[in-house]
Structure 1
Amino acid sequence: MSEAPPMGGARQLAASVPIRTAAGGATIAIPILAVDVTGDLALGAALVAIALVPGIVVAPLVGALLDRSHNPRLLMMLAAAGTAAAYGVAAFLGPVPVWAVMLGLAVSGLLIPFGFGGLSSFVAAPGTDARKAYALDALSYNLGGVAGPALVAALAPTLGPRAALLAMAVIALLSLAGLPLLRVPPRAASHPHLVRSMADGLVALATHRPLAAVTTSGTLAEFGRGIMPIAAIGIALGATGDASASAYVVAAFAAGALVGAALEPLRPDVLTPQTTMLVGFGLVGLATLAASLGIGLGWTIALVGISGLCSAAPTAAMLLLRRTQSPVHVVSQVFTVGAALRAAASAGGAAVAGLLAGLDPLLLLAGSGAVWLLSAAVMLAFPRGSRLAAASS
């Protein structure tokens, strides 16, 4: 396997980081703008849901279209342009009626899977180092997840939430400059009818044992992650009386994950990807359980940061296994559906934690750690000596 060209990593990040940054920032800017313009927090929450839920629903279709397309890069570029336009329309909430903003955000929700799981399924083009490519992809997700909200947090109080959302629209457009630099070859496989192709992807996810183990493990891990921010609010209230201090706990995990993802391409390749998932998610769970011991807010923040650091390697390994264990004609479907399942699991974890908010928040955090350990244990079901379902990159 040959190494990627020297600028391959920069091209990959240039293509993927902008659209992910824009999406991450928009989910913060949209409710702030809704409250600023209408004073209605419920409307803000509804607009965020409209921007997120369609992507979960259409993930199999997006994947099938990318798997069948002779020019998948063009579809991704059109999706980035459409997302930017939708955010631009939403930024003018007030002059633009609510129904039009809802329609625009629904369109953006339909398009977002192209730049998330869809783009991930193409980053390890033939002739590149697949492990490095997916380590960079994990870094891209972390950069977008941190940079988007951080930019909104900086812009909304100074220039206003409308300007912050417009900035996200402009950033989404930057992917149009990055995507042409990335190699995105079409799938070299025959494709059945579209509906049959979608069914084949879902069947592969459910019945191909290695792929089912990876998908279940990754989904459970995201459920555990979704619990943590809700637990952090209760921990912060108990320690300082100020719910805003929970941001330090959440930021510690994000910062740890970002550092880990940046270092991941340098990590010696001594473990198989499935072992990396098993060990990595297990370490996240143990660090989270340690953080729940109640030794003090400072130690909780530090240990949550360590758990985030440990999450980078198994996440990159998960992305690599999605690719190597997917039948070639459904690779994009596996990525888009896998990403959608993780998004839904994160929301589900937050919802369950919200329902259990009356419990001791340290118990909630311990529950998060237990779910991470369960996600690690699932990888014990990964069959030894499993053969690759797709051609290795």
Structure 2
Amino acid sequence: MILIVDDKKENILPLKKILEVHGLESDAAESGEEALLKILKREYSLIIMDVQMPGMDGFEVVETLAGSSRTKDLPVIFLSAINKEKKYITKGYESGGVDYITKPVDPDLLILKVKTFLKLYQQNKELKDMRDLLSKEIEIRKETQQELMLANENLEFKVAERTSELTQKNEELELRNHELQQFAWVVSHDLKEPLRKIETFVKLLRDRYLTDDPKGIDYANRTVGSAARMTNLINDLLDYSRLSSTVVTEDVYLDDTVNEVLSDLEHQISTKKGVVNVGELPKIDGIPGQLRQLFQNLIGNALKFSKDGTAPVINVSCETVADKDFDAKPHPQGKYCRILIEDNGIGFDEMYLDRIFVIFQSLHDRQSYEGTGIGLAIAKKIVERHNGLITAKSKPGEGAKFLIILPT
């Protein structure tokens, strides 16, 4: 939109007509004061300003516009029938005008200059908008960078603080573990000693003074059995507490480990007429005593929970897998081994899977199947100490499969 400022309507109308012929919209003001009011309310792209007007003349209006950041870049073409002298033309430029045309107006020259200044104004406006956008983007990026720096500093502080807390907690935990192990050793010694005496003296009473008293012998045997179960429980608790201590690892040949376990369980296997089939097992980096206990607990459980009237059959096999995952595919160069211990025993319902590895949890009647409920908890802790995984699959009456993933 172009604003024409002239105190005479007869001068405004021809100018509007010239602009209209060339498709240019225009507005008009008949005084400098009216022009300023219109400029405050509306945005114009160019002003054609008459110099000689009553009240504020054209120079004063342009000087006022130049004092505002909103209108200082607005192009102005001065138009006047007088002031052809050089000093007046110079004043027009100094006041803020971009060009000066004298009357009578040459329409072609006017349109040429109007279009030129409109194009320049539009380009300047686009540049200004782009500059403002870039400035805003720079400010946003600066603010974001400052926020990120503050967040990073805050994060580093929190990480350092949390690391310090964890280090302190870890030291406290190690101290508590050490104290707990010492406590377990002392308590176990203090408990096992009286139990040994109870068992010894009850056996003496039974063998020396109750030979002719069947009921007394039965009571004595029950007492001895209870003392033996308590001793087993204390031993299992000791084994469980020892798993928290730091032990140096070494190469362990699992073939030899399982053979040692089978040798220890030879009497149980023979009594139950069981069969244990062992496939090829790998060499891994581990703790020999703990791995031996792992297999002893799992194979011992398979023998213990066999079906009445059915000889237990236990299969121990292994394959190398690529990933630490129960469902990982076999891979000859895999970094993990998946060990399967499968039996044909009484099995269990998998809905209780999360309970079988918890200390003191037992799914079966302890009157029928002796045990402390710690064996599988110890097995799980051993596997975890070796950076491995353990789970089981089973159905009641269909045996159980224990799966172990260990790094090779």
Bin of the TM-score, shorter chain as denominator length: under 0.3
Q: Which has the higher helix share?
A: 1
TM-score of the two chains, using structure 1 as the length reference: 0.20
Could you state the TM-score of these two structures normalised by the residue count of structure 2? 0.19
Q: Choose between structure 1 and 2: higher strand proportion.
A: 2
